[in-house]
Amino acid sequence: MGSDFKWKIVMVGEFAVGKTSLVRRFVNDEFSDSYLTTIGVKVTKKETVINDKISADLLLWDIAGSDKFSQISPEYIKGASAGIIVADITRKNTIETISAHVELIKSVNPGIVIFAALNKSDLVENPQDSLKLYESIFKNNDIKHFSATSAKSGENVENLFNKLSTFLYEEVQ
């Protein structure tokens, strides 16, 4: 029997912020310290249960990291229900480009729901301080939820995707 819902979720952000690692942690509960650049797109399906009764398939689009010289192909964004913008909590420039990523995603897909994750929170002493520091970026870009995550420790990873699933489910109700 098929799932009740199927949502395409794009993972975007600068290179080496941990997009692939977040997907691997969420889907396979795995983590590797070695860095392997993502080329193109890798789509991974993960079934989740919302409120203990609703099943949903999340199609997680792990898109190659972008920078100011190589932008994401708009085709990848098309048809996505949500986008998770991932930044490296230790690299200020990856956080400062969140606005540019939001702008690009919304230019292709205006109604998209956007979440943000400041990843690698295990590398800083007090991740909440960073969230507070960049709060204005999240709020100014209509980012529905933001949290500090660690693909390495698993901190807040499942919670992030579950929150997104619930949010999308509530949107369609």
Partner 1 sequence: MTKSAIDIIIGRFGIYYGVLNSSMILAFTDKNLQTYLGLGDCGDNEYLTEIFPELFGFETDIDDVIYKRRDHFSLNTINRTVDSEIFFNLHIFSDPENDDSALIIVEDVTQGSLSLRMVQQRKNEMTLKNNELIRREEFVTTLLNTIPDPVFYKDSSGRYIGCNREFELFTGFSRDELSGKCSRVLFSEINEDSYDRHDRVLIAKGGAIHYETEIINNNGEKYYVIINKSVFPDSDYGGAVIVGVITDITGRKKMEEELKNTTSMLEISRGNLRDQIYIMEKNLLIARNAVDALLQKDFPVTELFHISCRYLPLAQIGGDFYSVIKNGSDLNIFICDISGHGVAAALFLSLIKYFSESIINEYGDSPVRYLEELNHIYLSKIIPSYYFTAIAGKLSFDDGIKFTFSNGGHPHPILMKRNGEIKLLGDDGTVVGIFENQKFSEFSSVIERGDMLFFYTDGIPETHNSADSIIGFDGSLLEFFSKGRRDTLEDTMDAIISQVIDFRGEIKQEDDILLLGFIAK
* Using rule CB under 8 A, residue 3 touches partner 1: no
Task: Kindly tell me which residue out of 50, 54, 59, 124 binds partner 1, with binding defined by CB under 8 A.
Answer: 59
Nearest Cα residue to 99 out of 111, 87, 89: 87
Output the smallest distance, CB 25 to partner 1, in A.
17
Please identify which residue in 30, 47, 78, 140 interacts with partner 1, judged by CB under 8 A. 78
Q: 46, 128, 130: which is closest to 94 by C-alpha?
A: 130
Angle 31-10-51 (CA atoms, 0-180°, nearest 5)? Answer: 80
CB 146 within 8 A of CB 19: no
Q: Which of residues 37-56 bind partner 1 (CB under 8 A)?
A: 37-43, 45
Binding to partner 1 by residue 93, rule CB under 8 A?
yes
Q: Which listed residue (3, 5, 15, 131) binds partner 1 by CB under 8 A?
A: 15
Q: CA dist 29 to 93, 106, 126, Å?
A: 28, 30, 24
Residues that bind partner 1 (CB under 8 A): 6, 8, 15-16, 35-43, 45, 59, 64-65, 67, 73, 75, 78-80, 91, 93
